[in-house]
């Protein structure tokens, strides 16, 4: 992922994915290069970050440099890469342009919800006999990305394509004032879209709803070509029939058919179809970017718990303050762990933990969307954490250059008991009173504040003081017996509503308070 794209995704800014088959197979050089640059410029101008997807020497790239764009635009022997082609192209170290299907896969894996293209593939004319159905349609049925396009390429069977999309469970909406489903070069296809959205905000609301439901299927937003540069339906249809006839006589089928048809139609219409093609791509880039911006605003508002028009009914968020750890858990295979520098057989796995993170995760899965206050480094672990915690509101978490994300290594016996734990958790000292106090308003309104023992003592005391003043419910998770006693070193503990110690932690708290151990608990585990 190109750094500018990665940075935008991590900061929650709008990003628009763009395909590259149009560069490698849709237009000739150098027109394809100037078109690609222009589309990226339109995306930027309209407030989003462009992320052109392509395959370069066996690696998927999300976001291309100008040099990489030029390489794809000028290369002769590049592959047209759909879902089925990805394993072979990557394993052979080849380069290629990604189709709608290929781009959707990369966009989804990178966390980009909006993708702009010219037109999607579909059911080819005569597809009821040949079964020539584009993988774009099945991809829309199984990958949750919103595709903004000028409908379906006119060379296809639009009616059967819409039927197939319905079977795949894809929500299709025309964009603008009409429900007329556009036909790529032309504004009319003779078919109605199932739904229509009038503007960017309505489209963003539709996409947010689809993503929120977790349906695992995409959305198709069909945008008509601008009126002044749209081609005549009759002129295009005559050219299509002639091009189809020539394709049949030459035996052109499969993934070679669409590039051949588009090139032939351009010749037969004296460049009119190419002009319409350029116009609709530029228009889609503008509309798609505006949708991405609107969607980003909607998602940010939702994360902050203040959706427009719902301010009065949105309950305040719980607040969780605590650690994020990358945990490496090593479980011994044999009953006895051998010392003396010997290697013990076992299983080692990486998980994402940290008591605060675990609490915030659980609350998020229960639909509570807590505000999570924590700190991590800007390193190889932080990207994995953000990807894993995509369902959580991570917007307030500190990401610090030059600091290491907290890591913890636990060696546990075959019976599941902790044998030894090693932690590199210095970054938790950055969860300071000064940082947490920026969210005082959220804390004072929170129905529940959770805080773990990783947090510095001064921060715990600050939160407990606020809790006293504003009668807040505070849950303290002691974390381990060395950290359990922090609130009990002063009167802070009197502000706690809940605490969840294990027996060792409870013993440590009891010792700190100077109380004798109850009989029978001295040695029990």
Residue of 396, 459, 464 lying closest to 431 (CA atoms): 459
Q: Which listed residue (80, 153, 255, 486) is catalytic?
A: 153
- What residues have CB less than 8 Å from 204, skipping those under 6 apart? 291, 294, 295, 297, 298
| Burial tier of 514 (Cβ tally within 10 Å: 0-12, 13-18, 19+) | exposed
Cis geometry, peptide bond prior to residue 29 (ω within 30 degrees of 0): no
CA angle 178, 180, 181 (to 5 degrees): 130
11 is catalytic: no
Provide the CB-side half-sphere exposure for 269 (13 A, CA): 27
Give 407's strand partners.
Answer: 326, 424
Q: Which listed residue (19, 40, 180, 477) is catalytic?
A: 19
Burial letters 471-496, b for 16+ CB under 10 A, else e: ebebbbbbbbbebbbbbbeeebbebb
Distance in angstroms (rounded) separating the CA atoms of residues 133 and 163: 12
Q: What does R_g of the chain's alpha carbons equal in angstroms?
A: 28
Max CA separation in the chain (angstroms): 96
Distance in angstroms (rounded) separating the CA atoms of residues 434 and 352: 26
Distance in angstroms (rounded) separating the CA atoms of residues 504 and 226: 71
**DSSP string spanning 90-133?**
HHTT--EEE-HHHHHHHHHHHT--EEE-S-B--BBTTHHHH--B
Give 173's strand partners.
Answer: 195, 221
Q: Cα torsion for 293, 294, 298, 304, to the nearest 10°? A: 40
80 is catalytic: no
Q: Are 283 and 416 in contact (CB under 8 A)?
A: no
Cα separations in angstroms, 19 against 6, 149, 407: 18, 11, 38
Distance in angstroms (rounded) separating the CA atoms of residues 190 and 176: 16
Distance in angstroms (rounded) separating the CA atoms of residues 343 and 453: 33
Give 331's strand partners.
Answer: 347, 412
Distance in angstroms (rounded) separating the CA atoms of residues 458 and 462: 6
Residues annotated as catalytic are: 19, 153
């Amino acid at each position: 992922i190109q750094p500018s794209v990665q940075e935008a995704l991590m900061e929650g800014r709008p990003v628009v994915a763009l395909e590259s088959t149009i560069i490698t197979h849709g237009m000739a050089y150098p027109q394809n290069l100037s078109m690609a640059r222009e589309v990226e410029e339109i995306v930027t101008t309209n407030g989003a970050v462009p992320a052109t997807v392509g395959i370069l020497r066996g690696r998927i790239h999300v976001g291309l440099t100008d040099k990489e764009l030029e390489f794809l635009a000028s290369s002769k022997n590049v592959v047209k890469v759909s879902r089925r082609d990805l394993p072979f192209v990557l394993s052979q170290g080849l380069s290629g342009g990604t189709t709608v299907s290929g781009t959707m896969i990369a966009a989804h894996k990178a966390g980009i919800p909006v993708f702009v293209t010219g037109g999607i593939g579909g059911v080819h004319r005569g597809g009821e006999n040949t079964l020539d159905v584009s993988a774009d349609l099945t991809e829309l049925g199984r990958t949750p990305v919103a595709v903004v396009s000028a409908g379906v390429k006119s060379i296809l069977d639009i009616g059967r394509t819409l039927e197939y999309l319905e079977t795949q469970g894809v929500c299709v909406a025309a964009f603008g004032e009409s429900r007329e489903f556009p036909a790529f070069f032309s504004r009319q296809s003779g078919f109605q879209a199932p739904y229509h959205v009038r503007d960017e905000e309505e489209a963003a609301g539709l996409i947010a709803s689809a993503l929120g439901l977790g349906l695992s299927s995409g959305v198709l937003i069909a945008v008509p070509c601008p009126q002044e540069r749209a081609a005549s339906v009759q002129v295009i249809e005559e050219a299509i029939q002639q091009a189809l006839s020539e394709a049949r006589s030459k035996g052109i089928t499969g993934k070679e058919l669409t590039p051949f048809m588009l090139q032939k139609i351009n010749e037969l219409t004296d460049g009119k179809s190419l002009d319409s093609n350029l116009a609709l791509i530029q228009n889609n880039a503008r509309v798609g970017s505006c949708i991405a911006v609107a969607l980003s605003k909607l998602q940010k508002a939702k994360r902050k718990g203040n959706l427009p028009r719902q301010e009065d009914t949105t309950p305040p968020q719980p607040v969780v303050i605590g650690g994020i750890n990358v945990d490496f858990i090593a479980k011994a295979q044999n009953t006895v762990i051998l010392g003396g520098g010997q290697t013990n057989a076992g299983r080692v796995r990486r998980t994402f933990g940290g008591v605060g993170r675990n609490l915030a995760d659980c609350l998020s899965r229960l639909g509570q969307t807590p505000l999570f206050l924590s700190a991590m480094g800007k390193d190889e672990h932080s990207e994995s954490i953000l990807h894993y915690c995509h369902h959580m509101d991570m917007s307030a978490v500190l990401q610090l250059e030059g600091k290491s994300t907290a890591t913890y290594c636990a060696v546990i016996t075959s019976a599941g008991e902790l044998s030894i734990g090693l932690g590199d958790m210095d970054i938790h000292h950055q969860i300071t009173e000064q940082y947490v106090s920026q969210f005082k308003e959220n804390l004072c309104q929170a129905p529940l504040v959770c805080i773990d023992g990783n947090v510095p003592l001064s921060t715990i005391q600050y939160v407990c003081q606020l809790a006293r003043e504003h009668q807040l419910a505070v849950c303290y998770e002691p974390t381990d017996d060395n950290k359990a006693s922090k609130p009990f070193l002063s009167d802070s503990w009197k502000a706690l509503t809940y605490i969840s110690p294990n027996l060792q932690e409870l013993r440590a708290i009891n010792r700190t308070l100077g109380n004798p151990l109850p009989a029978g608990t001295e040695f029990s585990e």
